[in-house]
């Protein structure tokens, strides 16, 4: 018989040739048997689409290939997860995608160059109309989704009940130190100081702008203290009329005045007995009440309104303010002796603009809360949107960030949120958006990474000067308190004050 082996096509003999042959064959196979395919480059722009995918164009509102190729994948394919594949380099072999064109079973695979670097990705529609072609799988997925939705609603109900004090009149903390989101140096330091304060019985004074999380830290300090089993009672001084503050603090004796309750009414000091009393916005306390508060703190007893009897109490006081108490003392608007009574363990809570590296974590946590409260999927921010958020000054701090995220989540038709939408929301609020920071700056928590390219000794000395100046300002110039806050001896502090550039010799 004649030898016909020469007519049989031969496989490549080298491994690279076999891989290239397999890649070509798999690509041709998927292009033929799949319902559609497209390719994107590293920027997420579509560079190729096959004929099979073009049948979905009408449902996507696209009339031609030119309207599809060249645009970013999020612009033309709502709810796509392709961007995550480009960023992580991790393939998604099986996923369900739902948008206005229908529900699809899809795969997303990264494309790499010869050295393994991601240069793009391929999207493959494996099945369309899976509700018929994959009925058993879809039924199981629907059951899991229903269970997940029920769990979310239950968690939301539990959290709502917790925020209302469980509806039983119990006065318990709502937060712990784990609730203070952030791992930046500024966030880590404030949590360290707050944890140390929790181990003491002395008054704590939380200093910081509005919306930075002072009340959350007050709850956390109480929860970590020896008084955690006692009540936590808070009062916002700025929210109570001056004429009612005395009764709010000290209570009212039975029949103290016309129309008063014949049974009397306990004040916040009595309600907090054995626990913690949180005095929010202490800087707004009227001068007429400051003397009575000082006496109560010094003597450990109160005199209810309309009563001649002194009532002892045992509370640990945590005060907070967004105002400059030292300046109020100098202006004569806040008693100096009360200031020193409260200013024992000062903790400065940094504004959000000083810890931009915490913004991604805050966005994730706030997004989950927004989703649970409104029964929607958590918003997903694209990289350009995250960079934009990290660059904003956030005058309202975390409270303002939450507001922007919630507006974006409720007003967006897609799950993904881009920078353009956030710019529009900020401008509607009367804020001109700042230019976005780059990813390395956000990762380091600094908007100016070039400032790090200097001799280390110079940076250490500069950081020491700033830390000492900030601590002196927070402690009202008290050097002993400053040394304790910074964790150094008084001798070291005096040496640094006399020779501020000493570190340059290291």
pLDDT for the residue numbered 445: 46
- Provide mean pLDDT across the span 264-293: 90
> Mean of the pLDDT values across residues 82-97?
88
Of the pLDDT bands very low, low, confident and very high (cuts 50, 70, 90), residue 308 is confident
Is pLDDT larger for residue 399 or for residue 114? 399
Do residues 437 and 444 touch, judged by C-beta distance below 8 A? no
The percent of residues above 90 in pLDDT, for the chain, comes to: 33
Contacts of residue 479, defined as CB under 8 A and 6 or more positions apart, other chains included, come to: 472, 490, 493, 494
Average pLDDT over residues 324-350: 93
The phi and psi torsions of 405 (rounded to 5 degrees) equal -65, -40
pLDDT per residue as tens digits for the range 44-75 = 999 999 888 898 899 888 999 999 999 999 99
Q: How far apart are CA 350 and CA 207, in angstroms?
A: 9
Cα–Cα separations (whole angstroms), residue 332 to 208, 284, 296: 21, 13, 21
Q: Tell me, what's the pLDDT at 41?
A: 94
pLDDT of residue 310: 85
pLDDT of residue 171: 63
Residues 6+ apart with CB under 8 A from 329: 335, 336, 339, 476
Which range, of 210-219, 233-242, 303-312, averages the lowest pLDDT?
A: 303-312
What's the pLDDT score for residue 24? 73
For 277-281, 374-378, 491-495, which range has the lowest pLDDT when averaged over its residues? 491-495
**Which stretch of DSSP H or E encloses residue 467?**
helix 456-474
Mean pLDDT of 497-501: 64
Which residues are registered as beta bridge partners of 234?
A: 278
Q: Label residue 334 by pLDDT band (50, 70, 90).
A: very high
18/358: higher pLDDT: 358
For the chain, the first-to-last Cα distance in angstroms comes to 89
Average pLDDT in the chain? 82
Label residue 168 by pLDDT band (50, 70, 90).
very low
pLDDT in tens, 366-392: 988 888 888 888 888 888 888 899 889
pLDDT above 70: residue 165: no
| Model pLDDT, residue 447 | 44
Q: pLDDT, tens digit, for every residue of 181-222?
A: 988 888 989 999 999 999 999 999 999 999 999 999 999 999
Higher pLDDT, residue 442 or 28: 28
- One-letter-per-residue 3-state SS of 153-186: HHHHHHHHHHHCHHHCCCCCCCCCHHHCCCCCHH
Position 441 pLDDT exceeds 60: no
pLDDT > 80? residue 306: no
Which of the given ranges, 253-262, 414-423, 454-463, has the highest pLDDT on average?
414-423
- The more confident residue out of 498 and 79 is 79
Closest CA to 436 of 390, 382, 383, 380: 390
Highest mean pLDDT pick, 14-18, 170-174, 271-275, 493-497: 271-275
Instruction: Report the pLDDT value the prediction gives residue 456, as an integer from 0 to 100.
Output: 64
Q: Where are the beta strands (DSSP E) in 226-290?
A: 232-236, 276-280
Contact 177, 222 (CB under 8 A): no
DSSP 415-426: SEE-HHHHHHHH
> What is the pLDDT, as a whole number, of residue 443?
46
In which band, very low, low, confident or very high, does the pLDDT at 448 lie, cut at 50, 70 and 90?
very low
Are 92 and 81 in contact by the 8 Å Cβ rule? The answer is yes
Q: What pairing do the DSSP bridges indicate for beta strands 102-112 and 92-99?
A: antiparallel
pLDDT of residue 468: 82
pLDDT tens-place string over residues 105-158:
889 999 988 888 999 999 998 887 766 666 676 677 667 777 776 776 666 666
Q: Which of the pair, 244 or 462, is modelled with greater confidence?
A: 244
**Percent of the chain having pLDDT more than 70?**
80
- Contacts of 26-34 with C-beta under 8 Å, sequence gap 24+, read 30/124, 34/124, 34/125, 34/126
Q: How many helices (H) and strands (E) does the chain have?
A: 21, 14
Q: Does residue 427 surpass a pLDDT of 80?
A: yes
Beta-bridge partners for 280: 236
Handedness of CA 405, 406, 409, 410 (dihedral sign): negative
Strand partners, 484: none
Q: What distance in Å separates the CA atoms of residue 286 and residue 340, rounded to the nearest whole number?
A: 17
User: Higher pLDDT residue, 282 or 469?
Assistant: 282
- Residue 102 pLDDT greater than 60, yes or no: yes
**What is the arithmetic mean of pLDDT over 307-318?**
88
Give me the phi and psi of 129, to 5 degrees please: 50, 55
Predicted local confidence at residue 166, as pLDDT = 42
* φ and ψ at residue 136, rounded to 5 degrees: -60, -45
In this prediction, residue 170 carries a pLDDT of: 54
- Check whether 454 has a pLDDT greater than 70: no
């Amino acid at each position: 018989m004649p030898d016909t082996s020469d007519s049989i096509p031969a496989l490549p003999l080298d491994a690279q040739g076999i891989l290239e042959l397999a890649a070509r064959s798999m690509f041709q196979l998927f292009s033929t048997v799949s319902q559609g395919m497209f390719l994107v480059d590293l920027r997420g722009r579509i560079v190729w689409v096959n004929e099979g995918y073009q049948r979905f164009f009408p449902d996507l509102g696209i009339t031609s290939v030119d309207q599809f190729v060249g645009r970013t994948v999020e612009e033309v394919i709502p709810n796509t997860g392709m961007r995550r594949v480009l960023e992580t380099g991790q393939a998604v072999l099986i996923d369900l995608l739902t948008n206005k064109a229908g529900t699809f079973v899809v795969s997303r695979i990264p494309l790499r160059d010869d050295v393994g670097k991601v240069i793009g990705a391929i999207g493959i529609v494996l099945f369309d109309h899976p509700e018929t072609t994959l009925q058993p799988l879809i039924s199981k997925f629907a059951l899991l989704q229903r269970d997940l939705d029920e769990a979310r609603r239950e968690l939301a109900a539990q959290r709502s009940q917790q925020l209302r004090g469980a509806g039983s009149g119990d006065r318990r903390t709502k937060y712990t130190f784990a609730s203070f989101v952030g791992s930046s140096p500024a966030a880590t330091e404030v949590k360290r100081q707050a944890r140390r304060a929790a181990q003491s019985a002395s008054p704590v004074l939380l200093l910081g702008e509005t919306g930075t999380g002072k009340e959350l830290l007050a709850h956390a300090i109480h929860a970590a203290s020896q008084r955690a089993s006692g009540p936590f009672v808070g009062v916002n001084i700025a929210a109570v009329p001056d004429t009612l503050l005395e009764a709010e603090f000290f209570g009212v004796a039975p029949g103290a005045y016309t129309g008063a309750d014949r049974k009397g009414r306990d004040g916040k000091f009595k309600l907090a007995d054995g626990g913690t009393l949180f005095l929010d916005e202490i800087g707004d306390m009227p001068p007429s009440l400051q003397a009575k508060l000082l006496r109560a703190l010094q003597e450990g007893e109160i005199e209810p309104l309309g009563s001649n009897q002194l009532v002892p109490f045992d509370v640990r006081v945590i005060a907070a303010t967004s105002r400059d108490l030292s300046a109020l003392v100098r202006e004569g608007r806040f008693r100096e002796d009360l200031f020193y009574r409260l200013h024992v363990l000062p903790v400065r809570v940094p504004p959000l603009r000083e810890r931009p590296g915490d913004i991604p974590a805050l966005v994730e946590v706030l997004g989950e809360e927004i989703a649970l409260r409104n029964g929607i999927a958590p918003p997903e921010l694209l990289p350009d949107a995250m960079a934009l958020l990290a660059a904003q000054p956030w005058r309202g701090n975390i409270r303002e960030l939450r507001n922007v995220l919630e507006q974006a989540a409720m007003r967006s038709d897609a799950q993904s949120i881009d920078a353009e939408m956030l710019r529009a929301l900020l401008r509607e609020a009367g804020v001109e958006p700042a230019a976005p920071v780059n990813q390395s700056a956000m990762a380091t928590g600094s908007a100016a990474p070039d400032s790090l390219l200097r001799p280390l000794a110079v940076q250490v000395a500069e950081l020491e000067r700033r830390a000492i100046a900030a601590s002196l300002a927070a402690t009202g110039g008290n050097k002993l308190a400053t040394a304790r806050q910074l964790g150094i001896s008084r001798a070291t502090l005096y040496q640094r004050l006399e020779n501020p550039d000493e570190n340059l010799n290291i």
